[in-house]
Amino acid sequence: MSSDVLRGKLSVRGLNAWYGKRQVLYDVDLDIPDGGVTAIIGPSGCGKSTFLRCLNRLHEETPGGRVDGSIQLDSEEIRDQNEVFVRCRVGMVFQRPSPFPNLSIYENVAAGLRLLGIRKRDELDAGVLDSLRKAGLWDEVKDDVDAPATSLSGGQQQRLCIARALAVGPEVLLLDEPCSALDPIATTKVEHLIAGLKATYTVVIVTHNLAQATRVADHTAFFYLGKLVEFGTTDGIFHHPKEKLTENYVTGLFG
């Protein structure tokens, strides 16, 4: 494994993860830089999504899910913190859009704010407006925020889920293949959104789309068979990889 980045926003040391007796991550050491976008790439089944879910303690909620090793956020061990607090600081958006189906657009975003104890309507209104704007969705829904969230297109639903994650004020945003279920136009909108968010948030994206990684990511980590093979700048990973396995993957010799 090769790495050329100093300790970052998230510092992972000796991370191992299991589903029951099956180990899926092996001794991962990785520092995710503060700010910008880090892409996680690798073939199917290499542990990318499991790694992402470990970063906000979601893997522990999976039946049989088990983790050991250290994950520090700003030098604080996340496993020593309340999991709800961790997930407010480290938000996550999943592969398929997952708005709360029985709630309106407004209430989907307000749900996180209510979790934080915000009850006053003017504060909720301000938080919902701010989050929808950050997610690039406000102009499209401002006249119909009381409509069901499921009335939105797939791409709009995914940006709504991003708005919902942003509402609680995270420092890190995890995106697990956020465009895999979207058409090219919706994908472009989400990628533009990511480019705007990286100035304020640390973004970590799992993607099977290598071209997408080159478009959106400042740094890239390549996983294979549950192990971190190489980590560095995206330009370095794709154009000057240090490991032969990385070169074979990014040039399409296997995948």
Distances (CA, A) of 182 to 6, 138, 151, 155, 179: 34, 19, 16, 6, 5
Q: Is 91 contained in some domain? A: yes
Phi, psi of 131 (to 5 degrees): -70, -40
Residue type, 133: R
Q: Is 52 contained in some domain? A: yes
Parallel/antiparallel/unpaired status of strands 219-224 and 227-233: antiparallel
- What secondary structure does DSSP assign to 144-175, as a single string? -TTSBGGGS-HHHHHHHHHHHHHTT--SEEEE
pLDDT digits (tens, 9 = 90+) for 102-155: 999 999 999 989 988 999 999 999 999 999 999 999 999 999 999 999 999 999
> 4 pLDDT exceeds 50?
no
**Where residue 255 falls among pLDDT bands split at 50, 70, 90?**
low
* Mean pLDDT along residues 8-15: 95
Q: Is 198 contained in some domain? A: yes
CB atoms within 10 A of CB 118: 16
Q: Is 115 contained in some domain? A: no
**Where residue 5 falls among pLDDT bands split at 50, 70, 90?**
very low
- Helix, strand or coil, per DSSP, at residue 89: helix
- Helix, strand or coil, per DSSP, at residue 204: strand
| Average per-residue pLDDT for the chain | 93
Distance, in Å, from the CA atom of 106 to the CA atom of 44, rounded to the nearest integer, reads: 36
Distance, in Å, from the CA atom of 220 to the CA atom of 211, rounded to the nearest integer, reads: 12
> 247 pLDDT exceeds 50?
yes
Q: Which of 51, 63, 58, 69 is nearest to 19 (CA)?
A: 63
> 7 pLDDT exceeds 90?
no
The pLDDT, as a whole number, for residue 99 is 93
> 3 pLDDT exceeds 60?
no
The pLDDT, as a whole number, for residue 6 is 46
> 185 pLDDT exceeds 60?
yes
Q: Is 132 contained in some domain? A: no
Q: Specify whether the CB–CB gap between 179 and 97 falls below 8 A.
A: no
**CATH number of residue 200's parent domain:** 3.40.50.300
User: Containing domain of residue 16, as a range?
Assistant: 10-98+171-250
pLDDT digits (tens, 9 = 90+) for 33-75: 999 999 999 999 999 999 999 999 999 999 999 999 999 999 9
CB atoms within 10 A of CB 36: 19
> 160 pLDDT exceeds 50?
yes
* Mean pLDDT along residues 216-238: 97
Q: Is 235 contained in some domain? A: yes
Phi, psi of 224 (to 5 degrees): -150, 125
Q: Is 139 contained in some domain? A: no
The pLDDT, as a whole number, for residue 254 is 74
How would you list the strands of the sheet with 36-41, edge to edge?
90-93, 172-176, 202-206, 36-41, 219-224, 227-233
> 1 pLDDT exceeds 60?
no
**Taking the complete model, does pTM exceed 0.85, yes or no?**
yes
Please give the tally of structural domains in the chain.
1
